[in-house]
Amino acid sequence: MANELSGLKFLFFVGDIYEDLELWYPKLRLIEAGAKVVIAGPEAGKSYSGKNGYPCVSDASIDSVKEADFDGLVVPGGFMPDKLRRDPQVLQLVKDFNTSGKLIAAICHGGWIPISAKVYDGVKVTGSPGIKDDLVNAGAIWEDAAVVIDGNHVTSRKPDDLPDFCQGILQVMLGQK
């Protein structure tokens, strides 16, 4: 089923020190499923380095994208989310995706961005054990699992969980299609 997500469009965030696998694995899996992926960073056309040195060139700047143009949002981990969560435009985009009931998928430290956008209150989530307290303090309901799906939210803990994370994204998106 190579085209199960044909016609759908996903937004990914990128910035320096993103977790390489947590961006590239879901990006390629969604493309494989027929979706279009747009990578947005602080600047358009800039090369950002992952934690392991793998480069990712942004397709667009964060301030040029709108939630209405996408069907889902994917937030990779690494140290990148700690910086991007300070950007009011990033937080507004996450709030807009949540208000619209669209997919918000965060893995590992990617959960920092939805925490700062205040969209996790009462939501079942997982994430890196290093941000468990942050998630709980934001009102989230912590579960230690490879993937947690709660409505439009899909969360995972670490790179080893990527197969489950991508299956969760597909499950949510195919349920909405």
Tell me which residues are annotated as active site: 108-109
Give dist(CA 11, CA 115) in Å, integer.
18
In sequence order, the 6+-apart residues with CB closer than 8 A to the CB of 56 are 14, 18, 23, 24, 39, 41, 47, 48, 50
Nearest partner of 39 among 16, 23, 20, 21, judged by Cα? 23
Which contacts (CB < 8 Å, 24+ apart) does range 61-64 have?
62/13, 62/87, 62/89, 62/90, 62/93, 63/89, 64/40
CA distances to 64, 76, 111, 126 from 156, rounded to whole Å, are 28, 10, 9, 6
